[in-house]
Structure formats: C-alpha cells, structure tokens
Amino acid sequence: MKVLILGSGGREHALAWAVKRSQRMTEVVCAPGNGGIAQIARCIPADLKNLDAMVRVAEAEQPCLTIVGPELPLSLGIVDALQERGLRVFGPTRAAAMLETSKGFAKRFLQRHNIPTANYAVCASTAELEKAIDFFHPPIVVKADGLHAGKGVLICESRHTAIEAAQGLFTGALLGEAEQQMVIEEFLKGDEISFLCLSDGKHVVPLAPAQDHKCIGEGDTGPNTGGMGVYSTDTMLEPGMTEWILHHIAEPTVRGMAEEETPFMGVLYCGLMMTARGPQVLEFNARFGDPETQAILLRLESDLVDALEACIDGRLAETELRWNSGASACVVASSSGYPGSYKTGFPITGLAAAAHVPGVQIFHSGSSRVGDQLLTAGGRVLGVTAAAPSLEEALARAYQAMAEIHFEGMYYRRDIGHRALKKKP
C-alpha cells in the first residue's frame, strides 16, 4: 500500500512514522516533507499553497491513500479535488473545513447547535463592533475570521484597545490582509485541552487528550507560537469527562455538520477551555494538531492506517483504538528569535545519541538535508517526543535526549508539563 502525506512539519513526520508501522504499508511518500522525514519516506517537492500543483503530485503518484496534514490545502479544497478524481483521501471537504477556516461560521454553528462556547458577536464593520462591545467586559478577545496560524487572536484589556485592534484587522494594518469580518468574545479562564477525535461523518472516536504550550516563554509568557511542547496522560481529564465532551461537544458537532449537508470526515480538533462552568469550545481545527500529534501517535498502539480508512469508508463505529497506558511528552526546539524573525541553515548535531534514549522519537518540524548533514530550516526545528509509564519519566527522557542535541541559537522551554506535575497530590 502506498500512502501520500501532504505537509512538511513535525506532525507530518509523526504521521509518516505511524503510517510506516502499519501492517499494510509498502511505501510512504511525503510532499514536500523535510530533512527528517526524508530519513523514513520519499520526499517530493510540492507547493502547499498551490492546489493544482498538489493535485498533479497526487495524480502522478496514484497513492492508495492521501493524508492531508495542514489546514491550508484543506481550505483550498484539496479533499474535494482528489475525491473528484477518484482518489482516496483522509480529511474534510472545503465546506466542512469551515469549522476551522471561518471563526464566524464556527461560532454561529456552535450557537445553532447549543454547543458550549464563549459569548460572542460576529462583526462586519467597526460600527457594528462599537455597538456590540458594550455587552462585553474586558478583557475582550478579538479574533480575525480567517486562517492566521494563531496570530489572528488578540486579547484586549479595554474596550478602547479592542476597537483599535478591530480597526487594525479591518484595515489590514495588523495582519497584512484586510479582514471582512471578525469575532469578539468573552475571555475565558481555565486549562486548555486539545481534544482530538476521528470522525467518519457520523461517528466519533476520541484520540488521547493532550495539552499544548502555546507561549514561547517559560511560565506561559511571551507571544503565542505554533506550540512549544505538549503532553498527554491517562489522567489529565477527570473520570467521565471524555464522555461528557463527546456527548455535549464532539458528537453534536458531527451530527450538526451532517444535518447541514456538510458532513465532517477527518480529525475534529476541539480546542477547549476547561472553565468553572464546564468545557467551552475556544476553536475547532479540521486537522491533526502540531505538536499534539507527535505526543498522541507515540501512545497509539493500534494501526493508524486502519483507523483512517475506517473514517473514509464510514466504518468508524466498528473501530476501536487501543492506547498504551501511561504518558507521553513532546518538547520543541526552536530557532533563536522565533516566533519573530530567525536565521536558518545551522548544522544540527547529536541526533543519533538523542535517539538512543529509551522511548524517544525525534520528529523534525523545520530541517533540511544537505549531503549527510541536517540543517535548521524553520522557526520550530524539531520536537523530542518520549513515552513512558508516567509523565515524570516521559519528560525526563525527552529532556535527557534534548540535552544531546545542538544547533546555533537552539531554544526550548524547560517547563513542559510542569503545571500538570504541580497539580498532583
């Protein structure tokens, strides 16, 4: 069986690793991939911003299954395009991916289906926003409607700064592109949980839960990033909470999308805030998370390809996922300067010694291979992921392996998972 993975980050490296372990695998191709992925899969050039180019890659390769990693190809309609050509593809159609690609759509959908989320208003002009804003108490969250890789969310300490932020979004001064609409919503307090599920359009199966660390700095300080580390344990959700979230959030979402004739097949990533009034949806993503996927797949015992194929064929109800008990953690090493500007092209050393630490897998986010050497090629460079019977041991293994790795300007947070450890009785 030949599998094509679209994407170039740590998530895609972890997907390629998990797919390769499948009983049925013969070949994994990744487009465009990266230096780390090239060690386990054939990488071919592809521009993820160009729908026609991606379709040409899939048509030329004729894979038995295509897995779409990032949101951009989903927003361009890669799933629709491949389905039209009779190719099997895992991921939601462009219409279903609107749960991620339009925050206004997602909020109205949540309200239509009585799914818990922060109070909000969708505004198409500053005048509309000025009218709505009196109903909100600062801090006020202002969100651009479209995809902005985490940079489109602003937490504003006063109504005045919220209006300024909105003006910046509407004129394009803040993100470069002028926004047509935005969401303002109440600020929620609590722990964030990434609750990912597989869906075949009707049924939902949860993956192991995870907690991302979005800020660049230790103690959750500084600007937001794509994710600096993540952990997953058996005990991070209270007993019964998984069922509650399935019953009140994930299942009604999938049912609602089917009722509205845009059935959702793929990964439904529910970004939740665990508040005093229960879990609330902060956002949906229509894909695997990064770096959540690295930590989650390290815990998956059953065959990933079987599960993804069950989604495509509408057989998810008959599928059960098996998980290794215990914990996993992923610590991300980034280039100095990230999430702002950074330099690339520095040699990465110590990877072989790091890989010898028991339970460790290293997934590359931004690396390139030149001859025998791996060079840094992105803001997030790699994630050291470790599984162990306890979170303490998983973190100790990840940090022990990380200590072996070097590149110029290498930075990583030393407090991944520490909030969970502190909470323990």
Enumerate binding residues for ligand GLY (CB under 6 A): 212, 227, 285, 289-290, 292
Q: Which residues contact 70 (CB under 8 A, 6 or more apart)?
A: 6, 7, 9, 11, 48, 287
Residue with tokens 């992925």: 37
Residue 270 interacting entry, from ligand GLY, ligand AMP, none, C-beta within 5 to 8 Å by type: none
Piece in contact with ligand AMP (CB under 6 A), picked from 169-177, 180-188, 330-338, 414-422: 180-188
Q: Which residues contact 15 (CB under 8 A, 6 or more apart)?
A: 5, 7, 67, 69, 288, 293, 297, 304
Of 100, 283, 303, 309, the residue at the interface with ligand AMP (CB under 6 A) is 283
Nearer to ligand GLY, 104 or 227 (CB): 227
Q: Does 188 bind ligand AMP (CB under 6 A)?
A: yes
Task: Spell out the SS3 assignment of 5-36.
Answer: EEECCHHHHHHHHHHHCCCCCCEEEEEECCCC
Residue 303 interacting entry, from ligand AMP, ligand GLY, none, C-beta within 5 to 8 Å by type: none
- Determine the Cα–Cα distance for residues 224 and 232; give it in Å rounded to an integer: 20
Residue 179 interacting entry, from ligand AMP, ligand GLY, none, C-beta within 5 to 8 Å by type: none
- Enumerate the H helices of 116-158 as residue ranges: 126-132
> Min. distance of Cβ 149 from ligand AMP in angstroms?
9
- Determine the Cα–Cα distance for residues 327 and 236; give it in Å rounded to an integer: 10
> Min. distance of Cβ 400 from ligand GLY in angstroms?
24
> Min. distance of Cβ 100 from ligand GLY in angstroms?
9
Give the three-state DSSP class for 212: strand
DSSP letter at 210? B
Of 192, 232, 229, give the one whose Cα is nearest residue 324: 232
DSSP letter at 349? B
Q: Does 162 bind ligand AMP (CB under 6 A)?
A: no
Backbone φ and ψ of 229, nearest 5°: 170, 165
Peptide bond into 32 cis (omega under 30): yes
| Interface with ligand AMP in residues 24-53 (CB under 6 A) | none
> Min. distance of Cβ 58 from ligand AMP in angstroms?
29
Nearer to ligand GLY, 136 or 231 (CB): 231
Piece in contact with ligand AMP (CB under 6 A), picked from 5-13, 22-30, 181-189, 241-249: 181-189
> Min. distance of Cβ 193 from ligand AMP in angstroms?
10
Residue with CB nearest ligand AMP? Answer: 283
> Min. distance of Cβ 186 from ligand AMP in angstroms?
6
Of 229, 266, 271, 383, the residue at the interface with ligand AMP (CB under 6 A) is 271
- Enumerate the H helices of 313-424 as residue ranges: 351-355, 391-402, 418-423
| Tokens linked to 200 | 């075949």
Of 192, 234, 251, 393, the residue at the interface with ligand AMP (CB under 6 A) is 192
| Tokens linked to 110 | 């949540």
> Min. distance of Cβ 224 from ligand AMP in angstroms?
6
| Interface with ligand AMP in residues 103-142 (CB under 6 A) | 118, 141
Asked whether 47 and 72 are in contact (CB, 8 A), the reply is no
Binding site for ligand AMP (CB under 6 A): 118, 141, 143, 150, 153, 185, 187-188, 192, 214, 271, 282-283
